[in-house]
A and B are shown apart, each in its own frame.
Chain A
Amino acid sequence: MNGTQVAATLPAGRHRDIPASKVIHPWPLRVMHWLNAVAIIMLIGSGWQIYNASPFLPFTFPEWATIGEWLGGAIAWHLAAIWLLMLNGLTYLIWGFVRGHFRKKLWPVTPRAVLHDAWAALRFRLPHEVGVYNAVQRLLYLGVIALGILAVLSGLAVWKPVQLWPLSDLLGGFFMSRIVHFIAMTGIALFLAVHLLLVALVPHVLPPMIIGGHLEDLETH
């Protein structure tokens, strides 16, 4: 990704179908994005504290990176923040389907396009197109949505292995549910690391996620 290449340097017509006056990130998306950010940070931080109470790998997370101070506090935060994540996530999925957000922005993703764009990105030849996600971005965004759903389902299985036994069985039982939950968290955390790195490299993508932003504003730079 090359931060110096902005939309204005793109070949004409690559985002011809998007009017320049159109808001880059409509307000519902911005609200949901930041609510999700709060929920994810709370859930990962408290989840690390919960993991530390009974680690199944030969390490624990550093205390400073955890939320809740002790197991009881961490579980209380975890089971409070999950409601924000689930309600916000459900709203996002409904909004995304109804408004065609997924169809227009994240679809299609073909293996050929992913390989092409990944190769271009590695050679710093993949331009950032405002309002258009490249194939690698599409794959990552769809992937993190899937991981979010997996995290919720495996979390439910850990929370209620008796009452939600079909879900628990599907994931391979209580302990496997914990492992799947951990793997989903790891995937989301890695996504977050890449996500934040890319924002740091291409910082002009941040203001539109806060104030909306218009394509024309960026093109006149």
Chain B
Amino acid sequence: MTVFNSSRRKLLERALAFGALSLLPGCDFDNVHHPDLADDFLRLMSGWNNEVQAALFNPRTLAPTFKPSQITRPPRFNAFYDISQAPHVDVATWRLELSGQIGAKRPWRIDRLRALPQESQITRFICVEGWRVIGQWSGVPLRHFLRAVDADTRAHYVAFRCADGYFTSIDMESALHPQTILALDFLGAPLTAPFGAPVRLRIPTKLGFKNPKSIIAMEVTNKWTGGYWANQGYNWFSGS
């Protein structure tokens, strides 16, 4: 699978038009098993940009917080589908499945998550598209949850799967950041379906698409699992 397949041909055509890659040999555009040079180049640079962002990431730097009066109302829905398509998860039967380098893998019910100490934040959500909104989320700090399930925090990644088929993964350093929470409430009430019920990740040190909604499974792993958008060409780390 090539990462930039949706736009490969035009990417290279444009690059050729500008002469940037005109001296490089041609390649098989139509065979996805042979990603072209523009793809390879962009993937290489995106990997390098992941490294730079990891180096730039300071676990003690906090995302700015805001006053209640600054909260964006009404809240803005965003997903890769229409709001009417948002998955409705039955909280009664919902379980958070755990896998990978986790000591206590027993699935979690919502009431057990609510029994853990909760933290609240009013932070800014910045979309990769450039817009931003301010919201209030509260829930369980992910670092507390990782400790509660005896996760190996020396592992590289924490990966999430969602009820709508979305998936993403984050680096362990960002997972342990104090503002990274498994959010249960939004604007003072339990999350609603369009905003990620029953549990979503709220990570204000990353762009919006790194905040998966309606999480059904979490894995702690050393294996890079990418993400729905990262696999299509967005930068994986996407720190803020």
Which residues of A come within 8 Å of B, CB atoms? 38, 41-42, 45, 50-51, 53-54, 56, 67-73, 75-77, 79-80, 83, 160-165, 174-175, 178
Residue of B nearest to A175 (CB): B132
Interface string of B59-73 (1 = CB under 8 A from A): 001111000000000
Which residues in B have their C-beta under 8 angstroms from that of A77?
Answer: 11, 42
How distant is the Cα of A71 from the Cα of B45 in the complex, in angstroms? 16
How distant is the Cα of A70 from the Cα of B124 in the complex, in angstroms? 25
For the residues of A in contact with B, the DSSP-based class is helix
24 pairs, A vs B, C-beta closer than 8 Å? A38-B18, A41-B18, A42-B20, A54-B131, A56-B130, A69-B7, A69-B11, A71-B128, A72-B7, A72-B232, A73-B4, A75-B128, A76-B42, A79-B46, A83-B48, A160-B239, A160-B240, A162-B61, A162-B63, A163-B57, A163-B205, A163-B239, A164-B56, A165-B61
Which residues of B come within 8 Å of A, CB atoms? 4, 6-7, 10-11, 14, 18-20, 41-42, 45-46, 48-49, 53, 56-58, 61-64, 124, 126-132, 204-205, 229, 232-235, 239-240
Most B CB within 10 A of own CB, among A50, A54, A76: A76
How distant is the Cα of A67 from the Cα of B10 in the complex, in angstroms? 9
Most B CB within 10 A of own CB, among A50, A174, A175, A178: A174
Most B CB within 10 A of own CB, among A68, A79, A160, A162: A162
How distant is the Cα of A71 from the Cα of B232 in the complex, in angstroms? 11
Apart from A69-B6, A73-B42, A83-B45, what are 16 other A-B pairs with CB-CB below 8 Å? A38-B19, A53-B130, A70-B6, A70-B7, A72-B233, A73-B7, A79-B45, A80-B41, A80-B46, A160-B56, A162-B239, A163-B58, A163-B61, A163-B205, A165-B61, A174-B132
